[in-house]
Structure 1
Amino acid sequence: MATIYQVSELASVSLATVSRVINNNSLVSEKTKNKVLAAMKTLDYRPNTIAQSLASNRSNSVGILVSELHGSFYSSMMSDIELALREFGKHAIITAGHSEEKSEKEGVEFLLSRNCDALILHTEAVSDDYLIDLKKRNIPFVTVNRYIPEISSNCICLDNELGGYIATRFLLQQGHREIAYIAGPLWKTDANDRYKGHLRALAEFQVKPNPRLLYEGSFQEEGGQKGVQYFLETGIYFSAIACANDEMAAGAMSALREKGRHIPDDVSIMGFDNLVFSRYTYPKLSTINYPIAAIGKTAASWVLNNLYIDRKEDIQHLFTPELVVRDSVKNMNE
């Protein structure tokens, strides 16, 4: 097996230079870098990452904990984080917490046991106190889609309450008053905040919320389907449905079509997230833009800035949701 000494000798450079190339140090010229890489290829040399980790006290790996590994939302977030880290020679180790406290804690400990230099956490079930304690343990981490005042500098999130407000306000501005709402699991902070925003918009337009027009879904497509079935079974009239995410909106649209309802002529639909598929539904889905790519890249930048790279870069901790108007909402005022 080739050694770093042999690489140094073949490339006619110092051991320090070979080390800089291996660690992707920008101080090495392109010409010298290419000489070292050519020598490594000729000798079939592979850096000993364990030895590197022991020497530098860095594993160059970042742990990512998400609720699930499937779905457009999580795949987009993980992809953007991984690409941002890879640009600087860092690697991602990914695990899922499945929105369960025990699984989320096990996931955190698993990532720490793999000597991850830092963690990017999308947690829903662990308490604020658990995350506050994590910071007291001097573990570098940043949370995504969650705001905790005591550790605000470690949080990167969307203003979900404002997003819920904007979505329902738009429906109200289009003349809708009987608005059904399909929420995510209300024990989850983001789902609860979006529903609070929905209620704020109703109050602003002096519309009294009807408990029969609320269905607590799952954040999955099935939740949207079951929500529509529930509303239709109650027999109560509604001209629009605001959904707490795009997946449930897609499920609601499918269920309405199966019942012979036309969108938006019979029922208008509003989503939340602006996932890629929302622009390809029929009709195209009006929704709230959740800049998940930007948030993922920002989480990666937080890690890079705090651990690896000496650069001055302001980190945006709170993102503002934006209305995306397409074809799934009818203007009742016309």
Structure 2
Amino acid sequence: MKKPNIYDVAKKTGVSSATVSKVLNNKGNISDQTKSKIFEAVEEINYYPHAMASALRGNKTHTIGLLIPDIGNAFFAELARSVEDTGHEHHFNVVMCNTDNQPHKEEKYLQWLNQKRLDGLIFGTGFSNSTSLAKMLEAKMPVAMAVRFNSSIEADAVLVDDFLGGYQATRHLLELGHQNIIFLLDTLKNPSSLGRIEGAKKAFSETNVAWSNHLIIENNWSAREAEQSLTHAFRTQPELTAAFALNDYLAVGSLEAAMQSGREVPRDFSVVGFDDTFISRLREPHLTTVAQPIGTIGKTITEKVIARINGEESSVKKTLLKPELRVRESTGHVFS
């Protein structure tokens, strides 16, 4: 069977092969109706030009790279889905890589992605100042940051106000009478986590509660590690009445630790998470959490990259979105 070619697409749609080429390479002033007709024909006859050959001719590959720490984390899974769906709407493929927060994996993926001649790259993870990234920036590849921000590079960014989110969660617990609060997080080297802790400090200050009452435990990367950290903290500081876990996975581990220690949530112990992913409603009690607009983050950052690929953007822009506290059943007044 003959492999479909550009002339087959032209014949099926009733336009010239030059018009098909312009649409596939995002050039020229072609109507949306014609574009839709051509893309439908491309899918129907299964015509896909060789991406590398197209790139070598200086054309687009219609491919965007996405680096995230861990697809197993519900937040990044939902973010990746939003990026992929938005890319598909604009006829771009998305190549996703998990870095596991490991610099050597990040560098390896950047080298590989650079060889694939991407049109653009989205960082959903923290990153080091790598040689491969420097090469991409030198080549004027559109690069954007979602959730995480690095001031050392000039790139578009879509962020959530972590300071406000940390403030909202902590203020909620303090207003319920909690003063002995444990904070469970990955690392303060993560700008998002640091911002949330700074917001928590403001809440303590405004309510005249001594910051010395708090306990911060880092190096929690999974629900299991959060469960172990809180279980140990219960032994050394039994006066703890609440936990602010800086993502929903850590909050689920906190709920488990409270249950295993014989504490009833929220009567004896309260838990707040961060993200409002699907896991916040999977178990009882449903989790009080700070909601990030994950779908909006993914859609906005992808559209920014595509606009820059198409030459529609000039100045670098940082978009800051607001989080929202969702109060459910895992928080309550201090029981006396």
Give TM-score, length-normalised by structure 1: 0.86
Counterpart for residue 70 of structure 2: 68
Using the TM superposition, give the Cα deviation of residue 131 of structure 1 relative to its aligned residue in structure 2, in angstroms. 6.6
Q: Using the alignment, how far apart are the partners of 2:283 and 2:71 within structure 1?
A: 23
Unaligned runs of 5+ in 1: none
Q: Give 2:41's match in structure 1, choosing from 37, 42, 58.
A: 37
Q: Distance in 1 between matches of 2:35 and 2:141?
A: 39
Q: Deviations over 1:89-131 (max 9, x none)?
A: 1101111222122222222222111100110012324159997
For residue 201 of structure 2, the aligned residue among 186, 199, 202 is 199
Preserved contact between residue 143 and residue 156 of structure 1 (Cα < 8 Å):
yes
Residue in 1 that maps onto 2:222: 220
Corresponding position of 1:305: 307
| CA 186–8 in structure 1, closer or farther in 2 if over 3 Å, else same | closer
| Secondary structure at 1:33 match in 2 | helix
Q: Secondary structure at the match of 2:302?
A: helix
Check conservation: 1:269, 1:329, Cα contact below 8 A.
Answer: yes
**What residue in structure 2 maps to residue 98 of structure 1?**
100
Once the two structures are superposed, residues 258-310 of structure 1 have per-residue CA deviations (whole angstroms, 9 ceiling, x without a partner) of 22210000001111111112123211111111112111111101111111375
Per the TM alignment, residue 316 of structure 1 is displaced from its structure 2 partner at its CA by: 6.2
Please say if residues 72 and 275 of structure 1, whose CA atoms lie closer than 8 Å, have aligned partners that are also in contact.
yes
Conserved 8 A contact 2:288-2:326? yes
Q: Distance in 1 between matches of 2:275 and 2:250?
A: 11
Q: Return the match for 1:326 from 320, 323, 328.
A: 328
Letter paired with 1:90: F
The answer to whether residue 224 in structure 2 is matched with residue 237 in structure 1 is no
Distance 1:184 1:4, change over 3 A: closer
Distance of 2:300 and 2:141 partners within structure 1: 19
Runs of 5+ unmatched residues, structure 2: none
Contact 1:69 1:96 in 2 (8 A): yes
Q: Tell me how far apart the structure 1 counterparts of residues 51 and 134 of structure 2 sit (CA, whole Å).
A: 32
Kindly tell me: are residues 267 and 140 of structure 1, through their superposed partners in 2, closer, same or farther at Cα, counting changes over 3 Å?
same
Residues 21 and 36, structure 1, Cα contact 8 Å, conserved in 2? no
The residue number in structure 1 matching 2:295 is 293
The one of 112, 115, 132 aligned to 1:113: 115
Corresponding position of 2:51: 49
Q: Which of 318-327 and 77-86 deviates more?
A: 318-327
Q: State the secondary structure of the residue aligned to 1:218.
A: coil
Matches within 5 A, 1:110-259: 110-127=112-129, 135=137, 137-149=139-151, 151=153, 154-210=156-212, 213-259=215-261
Equivalences, count: 332
In the TM superposition, residue 6 of structure 1 has moved relative to its aligned partner by 5.2
TM-score when normalising by structure 2: 0.86
Is 1:27 the counterpart of 2:31 in the alignment?
yes
Tell whether the 8 Å contact from 2:281 to 2:287 is kept in structure 1 after alignment.
Answer: yes
Structure 1: distance between partners of 2:85 and 2:304: 14
Contact 1:99 1:124 in 2 (8 A): yes
* Partner residue in 2 for 1:268: 270
Tell me: CA distance 1:36–1:300, structure 2 relative to 1, closer, same or farther (3 Å).
closer
The answer (yes or no) to whether the contact 1:215–1:230 under 8 Å persists in 2 is no
Cα deviation for residue 18 of structure 1 reads: 3.5
Moved more, 8-17 or 52-61: 8-17
1:128/1:148 contact within 8 Å kept: no
How far 1:51 sits from its partner (Å)?
3.6
Q: In the aligned structure 2, how far is the partner of 1:4 from the partner of 1:203?
A: 66
